Amino acid sequence: MAGSELDFTSGRRIGPTKLDTAFTALRRDDDGLVRVQLDDTETGRRATVWMDEHFGYVMAFTATPWNRPAAAVSRWPSSHDLSPDALRSGTDLVRLEPGASWQASWGISPG
């Protein structure tokens, strides 16, 4: 997607771009986390969604509810854990036996 209307790697306005898009091949920082930053250029407010190595996809959505532009970001587990089509296809699905666990870390922080 480098150079396309879906290239947000260097930060830019979403503008009229409509998103209901999965992003893969995520760039991780030195601490192993992926960070997706959303900025409101009018108010200066900013939020960062971060996720650990268990998340290999990011879904990004845009909408105009209530006649106001909106954007959302959702983390999605890595392909070895759960692919975006896993619930329908049954592939890459994590099945936990009773008493088993699966753990991952993610969060949202201001700035």
Residue 34 confidence (pLDDT) above 80:
yes
The pLDDT value given to residue 7: 81
Average pLDDT over residues 83-92: 62
The pLDDT value given to residue 51: 92
Kindly give, in sequence order, each residue whose CB lies less than 8 Å from that of residue 41, ignoring residues fewer than 6 positions away. 13
The pLDDT value given to residue 79: 47
The pLDDT value given to residue 80: 47
Task: End-to-end CA distance of the chain: give it in Å, rounded.
Answer: 26
| Strands (E) located in the chain | 20-23, 34-39, 46-51, 55-63, 70-77, 106-110
Mind listing the pLDDT tens digit for each residue in 39-80? 888 888 999 999 998 888 888 888 876 666 677 777 666 544
